[in-house]
Amino acid sequence: MAEKNYRQYGWPIPKHLQATVAAIAPDLKPSFADTALKKGLVTADAPVDTEHSNRLAAGQGKLQEVDLGPQAAARSEEAWKRLHSGESAETPTSTKPWKNKYGYAWRKPRRNGKTDEDVRRDKMVEAVLSEAKLSYFDTTTPSTLPTTNPSSNSMHNPTNEDALVERFRTEYFESMEAKHQMRKPPAAPVKGAPPVMAGPKLGGSKSARAKMHKAQQDEAAAKKGKIR
* Whole-angstrom distance, CA of residue 142 vs CA of residue 136: 16
Assess whether pLDDT exceeds 50 at residue 11. Answer: yes
Note the pLDDT tens digit of each residue in 87-123.
Answer: 665 655 556 667 777 878 776 666 676 778 888 899 9
Distances (CA, A) of 128 to 24, 118, 121: 86, 16, 11
* Whole-angstrom distance, CA of residue 13 vs CA of residue 3: 7
Run of H or E including 80: helix 70-85
Q: How confident is the model at residue 42 (pLDDT cuts 50, 70, 90)?
A: very low
DSSP-derived 3-state class of residue 105:
strand
Note the pLDDT tens digit of each residue in 140-181.
Answer: 655 555 555 545 555 556 678 888 999 999 999 998 888 877
Query: pLDDT averaged over the chain?
Result: 71
Q: In terms of pLDDT, which residue wins out, 217 or 7?
A: 217
